[in-house]
Structure 1
């Protein structure tokens, strides 16, 4: 009986840890995607006077849109105007290095990143990017600023 258990114990525990790791990565990516959906809708239709992405998140957007699973202090938000072909921006990591919301009618790429946590299993079902030697989960959205209530300044 003990021999059979010892033979089956290792694959059983590997399966359990792999399932927990996969669930954690999927949950973090899902929370980031959900927050990105809400933030992109907010930025697309409403003007903001925030001069930086940190200022925007600190103004209450993080607490309003990000769930309890993610720490607001670790969330990074970036925005840049799309120029040229969209495919040329696929490998660009915005992070929080750019905060350009453009004018009404401009097309923007918005990007949320969150620090990646290495778990036991190397299996990850998430969009991962590297910047500055650190790995991040990433969620992106492409929006067009609405001409009705956007524009935090003269364009």
Structure 2
């Protein structure tokens, strides 16, 4: 029991310690962040042609695109749906695949995204883990960048 308590105490101390990622010489590609330090947005290009402003959300399982972006991409829903939880409760929404999702020079292929108008203009969607998990990434608030390296 003491050993377990000691391990839990060590784990809590490690979580509470602010880590610093040193990516010097690693070759991570940087993308500028816009925002106030509490929320960050990034500019992305979908399928090589449609640009949008996306809220960076490391807690979102999927990327989210607005219905307007889905129309501009001419995405067809093939019946796949997922249940999402929003401030208004649970709902079933279409799940689509975006062939190319580019953030700066960082490209992910076949990214799953939910079609839902969950963000208000000027935002076009949410950049979630279905994109981010393709990379190792560090958000540097001081420099106002997100640094990504392929192979998450």
TM (norm. structure 1) is 0.29
> Which one has more relative contact order, counting CA pairs under 8 Å at least 6 apart?
1
More strand per residue: 2
TM (norm. structure 2) is 0.30
Structure of higher CA gyration radius: 1
More helix per residue: 1
